[in-house]
Structure 1
């Protein structure tokens, strides 16, 4: 049975994200497949760019952030997916060898007026590198079941 239901996502609650090691081959493989800009593929091209070195695609950073969120709380919740991502802000380049950490903070949570078995949780997730610099910030919506819906196995 899932541990986290709507009632566990109280305003101000913070979920710490476990460290994530940024791997050079993973950065390049993601770029080759999805964002083949030179500064994501080659160290010299990265040095010649405003990024100052080989850097992960922002979309890859979002994928790493998602993995961290899944491991921290999402996979042990009654998640029904998401309804939106309000914004993503990439602050500093993420480089191979970086260790990312971070947290998700509950901004608000409420029961859906249209589907009373479903909760709407607004979260702000921040990811930082090993120097404490904020690398990315995202605000997003989580849809999850209420405790009663989980216990009664009510589905959308």
Structure 2
């Protein structure tokens, strides 16, 4: 499936340090948790509710990688699709802070902490961000810090 190409609404110049966005919510089901884990992280506490009772989590819970994938889905659907995003050079940190259980409602918040034009690529801006996913009790379950690359609208005027 190919996303239709459209002109971005937001470029690097439109993003501001300190800006926080709420990027929507998802609620994983037990079936989704087991399906993801079956393919990508087949540990007993992600696959079997009975086995999970004896784990440190006490119940079936989502893989941390599943939680990351859900955060990425919210980021792409509710932010990156409207931007001039050029991808990411990577993360500086990733922490799973609490387990995610079936039926939890997860909300993603995205905060811009730094931005600069890339030295060797004056048409590309680098944006440092913090992603925080919280559950329905506003408890953080995931925190990631990293960078995104965005095309500049007017490279010659900004560089």
TM above 0.5: yes
Residue pairs, 1:35-74, within 5 angstroms: 35-74=41-80
**Distance in 2, Cα, partners of 1:17 & 1:53:** 28
Give the TM-score normalised by structure 1.
Answer: 0.92
Distance, in Å, in 1 between the alignment partners of 2:114 and 2:34 is 37
Q: Give ranges in structure 2 of 5+ residues lacking alignment.
A: 1-6
Matched, 1:133 2:157: no
Unaligned segments of structure 1, at least 5 residues = 150-156
Equivalent pairs counted in the alignment come to 149
CA contact under 8 A between 1:85 and 1:140: conserved in structure 2?
Answer: yes
Partner of 2:31: 25
Partner of 1:153: none
Partner residue of 1:6 out of 4, 12, 21: 12
**Shift of residue 47 of structure 1?**
1.3
Deviation (angstroms), 1:122:
0.5
Partner of 1:154: none
Q: Write the deviation string for residues 97-148 of structure 1: whole angstroms up to 9, x where unpaired.
A: 0110121000101111100000100000000011111000001110110112
Segments of 4+ moved more than 4 angstroms? none
Cα offset, 1:21, TM superposition: 1.4
State how far apart, in whole Å, the 1-side matches of 2:25 and 2:103 are.
12
- Calculate the aligned-residue CA RMSD, in Å: 0.9
Residues 49-105 of structure 1 deviation map (CA, whole Å, 9 limit, x = unaligned): 001110000011000010111122111111110001111100110011011012100
TM-score, with length taken from structure 2? 0.91
